[in-house]
A = this chain, B = another copy of it.
């Protein structure tokens, strides 16, 4: 469903949306990229368009010696069509986010080869044999290094993108730069925090099975207030440069490697948003498992692995964050002059754990918001969508929706990640939700 909007394209004079032919001409014109592909001749190159996301064109371009990915922004939301325009500058923010992440976690990103602001396009490493994590979780596969890689990535990018590390003038200037990524923030503000809680035209859910829970949500006062408080947090807490869309479709994995892609929603927001987004998608995968079983209890231990993964992500995150706090804290927050320099390591440690407690509380609330919106909002997840039988799917979705609701309403209740696992198990045992 790639809509064309000639009028809008004409406004961006230098921009042209590529197709599988023109992208070949383009890449061979970039010396470094051509070298990587092993040819400067378009007819020695194969290209295919594989974008399955909601927003962009993605080409895999292969030459005799190697392959690259070309990701190009379209001037509208691909999922919806040209009735929903979206500025090309998001590619600029994505590139800026990638280069900042690369300063500390380059090995968790695709290698970055080329950025073209006018064409809203970037050329990156073609990750092979990497698979999108979400698909692997649906298939029931385990990844022994996943939690370690994600936890470290979160700690390294969030810590180094915050006032705990950055020079305050640089942080404020960078925050101002990303504040212009307003249209992508607005998507989140609308489709995550607002639309699922009223009768918005683009909402959808498994009908008629989920009609009851979806309607109940819209008249659930506590959850509406809860999600609006998370929206306040999202839109006002400029704590760190976020990935902004860290779900399991933004992670590519092999048995030993993990890469994080697609930070086009990047902006300075609350750390808990990235952490909570990943939690939410693990929990969605957890509740979907009953729908993927070919016999009862087949996926029980796999479900437990998903919960353990969330637990490990947090513990790895907290441990690495604590190390960075001790070793690399040089921003304006918790200055060493007040703590370590006067022998007060205890005060610094109390401050750290209060800080982490705040991140966790935010993460719980955001996890709830992210779960709810994938069940009764515009964009759903393949974890659930791939469950063919609508009754069975709705049974999974109703439980996931209840979990999301409880996380939003009781986000100050769960003092640690193990409490969330406990909640997930209890919700899974619920009967008669539909």
Contacts and interface: CB of A to CB of B under 8 A. Distances in A.
B189 A179 contact: no
Interface in A159-178: 163, 168-169, 172-173, 175-177
A206 interface: no
Given A168-B235, A169-B186, A186-B332, 6 more contacts: A176-B177, A198-B337, A221-B346, A221-B347, A224-B338, A228-B351
Interface in A140-197: 163, 168-169, 172-173, 175-177, 179-180, 182-183, 185-186, 189, 194, 197
Contacts of A355: 232
A66 B25 CA distance: 72
Contacts of A351: 224-225, 228-229
A333 B239 CA distance: 19
A229 B333 CA distance: 8
Given A224-B338, A232-B163, A179 B182 contact: no
A174 to B, nearest CB: 9
Contacts of A236: 163, 237-239
A8 interface: no
Contacts of A197: 338
Scoring A173, A176, A197, A225 by chain B CB atoms within 10 A of each residue's CB, the highest score goes to A225
Interface of A: 163, 168-169, 172-173, 175-177, 179-180, 182-183, 185-186, 189, 194, 197-198, 200, 218-219, 221, 224-225, 228-229, 231-232, 235-239, 332-335, 337-339, 341-342, 344, 346-347, 350-351, 354-355
Contact of A219 (B228, B231, B235, B342): B342
A229 B354 contact: yes
Given A218-B342, A229-B354, A338-B228, A172 B163 contact: no
Decide if the interface of chain A is mainly helix, strand, loop or mixed: helix
B180 A341 contact: no
A97 to B, nearest CB: 17
B235 A350 contact: no
A177 B175 CA distance: 11
Contacts of A232: 163, 239, 333, 355
A270 to B, nearest CB: 8
Given A179-B176, A180-B173, A342-B198, A350 B225 contact: yes
Contact of A172 (B182, B231, B332): B182
A364 to B, nearest CB: 17
B228 A334 contact: yes
Nearest to A180: B176
Given A232-B355, A236-B238, A333-B228, A221 B182 contact: no
A351 B225 CA distance: 6
Nearest to A221: B347
